[in-house]
Amino acid sequence: MDDLTAIRELLSEPPISPEAAAAGRDRLAAAFSDTSRQTPLRSVQMTDETPPGPVRKDRRAATRTARRTALGVGLLGAAAAVTLLITSGTLAGGPGTGPATVVASDRPVRALTAQQVLLAAATSAARTPAEGANWVRGAVSGNQRVEPGGRYTLELTSSTEMWVSPVPGKPIWFIRQDLGTRPATPRDEEVWRAAGSPTSWVYPGPGGKPDKAGSVTLRSGPGEPVATRDGTGKLSVALLGKPMSRATLSKLPTTPDGLRDYLKPVITKRYGAEAADVDMDAELYETGVRVIMDLPVPPEVRAAAYRMLASLPGVTADGEVTDPLGRTGQAVSLRHSTGEYRLIMDTVTGQPLASVSTIKDKGGEARSYTAIKRAGWTDDEPELPARRRGSEAPPA
């Protein structure tokens, strides 16, 4: 199914019946006549903490809200738009509740499928502007780890920025900062307080002794930001161990079949002798998400990655969810025996919001995530911290 077919099917809902429309108008009139019983209708929109490029945040939010409103009118029809009922204050359930259902009058609109969500994101991604002095990707990542004594789980967070110029020989900058470590859940916080509320945790290195080389210390407070300069002119980014230069990224396939054929040998080489036991569809899903989330690929390549995900078996729609930064977006997931991989996106802009992995281990679950705060082309230049390091070699 191509994008236009999916959209055509999505917008082909039959018109609402006159009886339902009349009943809706009556309920609406009654609500307006009794203001003491009105329930505020909260608008649902995604907010970007750091909008890409020079576009102002308030203009982007207003434009996005208007476009979502227009889409809602198209889905429900004019009469249904008049009688829209939001039964729980949002347009969809929270994480893990399954596909969202918007109720208009007495007839629910069918939920979006994973394929429809991904194809809509692909169509939007293909129209993303690709002009500017730099491509920037800013993200917040979180990982969970059991504290050294095994009593509770910690969540480590960090921020990263990558600045890439299309100009050959211009340095590439990576800016990273540890944001701190804290108990992962309210239950973990209770145990942490009972343990004396420590502010640092030391994980032993080789030999099992905290003072040995290789030990790792986590702290509750943020660390100092560090900028790493790649002055060689080679993109210090890899996909499953394969270096991805500027030239390589610009030549990636722009069709889902072509991208799938390109990624399969990369995945196979990554696992070597164990490749025969690899679930190729699951690996294609994870690798496709990395292409969408992490790499400065052309818009057509990102669209191809979305379309490749739409073609994979086992990918399901989770409806509208909240990402780790509190933003709402449409989510799809691939579940397997050891956990779940979820991708959250803004289908209106085609921008990925976050990827969340939940892995089952020893009777528990460990979650890791990457949330994109800013991604795209801009005329801005990086604000570099005082602490810097990296290669100063001339371009190869």
Regarding whether 93 and 11 lie in a shared domain, the answer is: yes
Q: Are the C-beta atoms of residues 285 and 309 closer than 8 Å to each other?
A: yes
Here the tokens at position 34 are 């009794």
Regarding whether 168 and 32 lie in a shared domain, the answer is: no
Residue with tokens 């944001």: 179
Q: Are the C-beta atoms of residues 188 and 152 closer than 8 Å to each other?
A: yes
Q: Does a structural domain hold residue 280?
A: yes
Segment 304-319 shows an average pLDDT of 96
Res 353: pLDDT:
97
**Does residue 12 surpass a pLDDT of 70?**
no
Q: Does a structural domain hold residue 192?
A: no
For residue 105, what pLDDT band results from cuts at 50, 70 and 90? very low
Task: Give the Cα separation of 271 and 251 in Å (integer).
Answer: 24
pLDDT digits (tens, 9 = 90+) for 334-347: 998 788 999 999 99
Regarding whether 379 and 291 lie in a shared domain, the answer is: yes
Regarding whether 104 and 157 lie in a shared domain, the answer is: no
Q: Are the C-beta atoms of residues 126 and 300 closer than 8 Å to each other?
A: yes
Task: Give the Cα separation of 123 and 304 in Å (integer).
Answer: 10
Regarding whether 264 and 176 lie in a shared domain, the answer is: yes
Q: Does a structural domain hold residue 267?
A: yes
Regarding whether 11 and 88 lie in a shared domain, the answer is: yes
Task: Give the Cα separation of 230 and 392 in Å (integer).
Answer: 7
Here the tokens at position 294 are 């992490």
Q: Which domain holds residue 49?
A: 3-111
Regarding whether 155 and 65 lie in a shared domain, the answer is: no
Q: Does a structural domain hold residue 200?
A: no
CA distances from 269 to 85, 241, 251, 255, 279 (A): 52, 9, 20, 22, 14
Segment 163-170 shows an average pLDDT of 83
Residue with tokens 């329930």: 39
Regarding whether 128 and 106 lie in a shared domain, the answer is: no
Regarding whether 128 and 107 lie in a shared domain, the answer is: no
Segment 160-178 shows an average pLDDT of 88
Task: Give the Cα separation of 305 and 298 in Å (integer).
Answer: 11
CA 298 to chain centre: 18
Q: Which of 111, 145, 166 is the last residue of a domain?
A: 111
For residue 236, what pLDDT band results from cuts at 50, 70 and 90? low
CA neighbor of 346 nearest in space, from 366, 367, 325: 325
Q: Does a structural domain hold residue 337?
A: yes
Q: Which of 66, 85, 111 is the last residue of a domain?
A: 111
Provide the percentage of residues in the chain whose pLDDT is more than 90: 50
**Residue 145 CB burial class (10 angstroms; 0-12, 13-18, ≥19):** middle
Domain total of the chain: 2
Regarding whether 377 and 326 lie in a shared domain, the answer is: yes
Task: Give the Cα separation of 232 and 168 in Å (integer).
Answer: 10
CA neighbor of 4 nearest in space, from 113, 129, 125, 116: 116
The better pLDDT of the pair 257, 366 is held by 257
**Does residue 361 surpass a pLDDT of 80?**
no
CA distances from 124 to 207, 254, 388 (A): 52, 15, 37
Q: Does a structural domain hold residue 212?
A: no
Number of C-beta neighbours around residue 74 at 10 A: 14
Here the tokens at position 202 are 């030391």
Q: Does a structural domain hold residue 220?
A: no
Q: Does a structural domain hold residue 215?
A: no
Q: Which of 111, 146, 173 is the last residue of a domain?
A: 111
Regarding whether 50 and 139 lie in a shared domain, the answer is: no
Res 210: pLDDT:
59
For residue 23, what pLDDT band results from cuts at 50, 70 and 90? low
Res 330: pLDDT:
96
CA neighbor of 264 nearest in space, from 282, 246, 249: 282
Regarding whether 103 and 77 lie in a shared domain, the answer is: yes
The better pLDDT of the pair 1, 253 is held by 253
**Does residue 168 surpass a pLDDT of 90?**
no
